[in-house]
Amino acid sequence: MAVTNTLSGPESLGPGPFQSVLIVVNPISGKGRGKRAARELREALDQRGIRAELFETRARDEAPARLRSLGEPVDLVVAVGGDGTLREVLDGLADRDVPVGILPFGTSNCLALQLGIPRAVRANLEILLRGKTIALDVMRANGSLSCLMTGAGFDARCVREVELRRRGPITKWTYVGATLRALRGYRPPRLRVEIDGRELCATYGQVIVGNAFRYAGIVQLSRRSRLDDGELEVYLFPSGSLLEFARAFVRGILDEMVGSGVELRVGRRVRVFAEGDPEPFQIDGDFGGTTPVEIRLAPTRYRLVVP
């Protein structure tokens, strides 16, 4: 998909509510299209008299380090890349009142899809200049920030396979290969779950904890999910069998995942641990480590610029 709509003049939008902007881009996102889009966005902001700095990340954790070392405050930060880039931007943002925009060029872009945020630079710029924001709850999984969801079970095994062989940009085909490798000899784990200090009686084969309702870009978890409701949704898969996953995913594509044997609980602090060997867990689609994992709703919220 081409990056489109270079702006040539100030038009009727005016300078907007921001005077200084930091654009953080993962230069390999979208096979390089994210980098071109970030440059186009900077030029469009410059045309409106808005000071814009472009920062390209070269490794993990560079975005948080850059944000923490800002000499002068900025009015807006724009994350150009995928959900991982957004998470790093939020993690490094010292002032939670500074709004964050999204220019989505990642593999899934789950949050941007949920919010209806476009990839086209012109349409994205108009949203930024209007400056409408919403609040975003976030959580900490063993101390690491998560703005979408943390999962333990088969999805985390797939993510671990991606991590083991990652040598640069990834695509959805990368996850297809990782899924096939994770299927070899697959046996569902037995996961125990504690919510707000109370351990559930049963064990589960898959657990997903989060506050977003879109999973893997195409599956809807639950309509009751809200980004700013002050609680976490806990999705519990009783067996973790492949048949259970297939049924849940089909239902989630057509309607919502809850109700296909998947149980929904809510809470503010969730602990997941495995019977037997530790299980991997994923944070927003990245490998996070192995169980036990404790997920806590963070006390502060962030502001996202939305349509």
pLDDT value at residue 163: 74
Of 108, 131, 154, which residue constitutes the final position of a domain? Answer: 131
Of 71, 106, 131, which residue constitutes the final position of a domain? Answer: 131
Q: pLDDT means per 10 residues in the chain (307 residues)?
A: 35 61 91 92 94 90 89 92 92 92 88 92 95 94 94 91 69 68 88 98 95 83 89 95 90 88 95 95 92 95 95
Looking at the structure, do residues 174 and 28 belong to the same domain, yes or no?
A: no
Distance between CA atoms of residues 239 and 233, nearest Å:
19
Question: Do you know the residue count of the chain?
Answer: 307
pLDDT value at residue 4: 36
pLDDT value at residue 272: 98
Contact call for residues 90 and 138 (beta carbons, < 8 A): yes
Looking at the structure, do residues 189 and 88 belong to the same domain, yes or no?
A: no
Residue 183 lies in a domain: yes
Residue 201 lies in a domain: yes
Residue 307 lies in a domain: no
Looking at the structure, do residues 229 and 198 belong to the same domain, yes or no?
A: yes
Of 102, 131, 160, which residue constitutes the final position of a domain? Answer: 131
Looking at the structure, do residues 126 and 178 belong to the same domain, yes or no?
A: no
Looking at the structure, do residues 186 and 261 belong to the same domain, yes or no?
A: yes
Looking at the structure, do residues 124 and 208 belong to the same domain, yes or no?
A: no
| Neighbouring residues of 94: CB distance < 8 A, sequence distance ≥ 6 | 67, 68, 70
Nearest alpha carbon to residue 304 among 218, 172, 211: 211
Looking at the structure, do residues 229 and 91 belong to the same domain, yes or no?
A: no
pLDDT value at residue 8: 34
pLDDT value at residue 37: 95
Residue 62 lies in a domain: yes
Distance between CA atoms of residues 29 and 48, nearest Å:
26
Domain holding 200: CATH number?
Answer: 2.60.200.40
Looking at the structure, do residues 124 and 182 belong to the same domain, yes or no?
A: no
Tokens of 143: 């101390």
Looking at the structure, do residues 45 and 194 belong to the same domain, yes or no?
A: no
Residue 71 lies in a domain: yes
Amino acid at 179: T
pLDDT value at residue 217: 74
Residue 9 lies in a domain: no
Residue 87 lies in a domain: yes
Count of domains forming the chain: 2
Looking at the structure, do residues 83 and 189 belong to the same domain, yes or no?
A: no
Domain, as residue range, for 207: 141-300
DSSP lists the bridge partners of residue 101 as 78
pLDDT value at residue 5: 35
Residue 136 lies in a domain: no
CA angle 116, 93, 267 (to 5 degrees): 65
Looking at the structure, do residues 47 and 80 belong to the same domain, yes or no?
A: yes
Domain holding 83: CATH number?
Answer: 3.40.50.10330
* pTM as predicted: 0.86
Looking at the structure, do residues 123 and 175 belong to the same domain, yes or no?
A: no
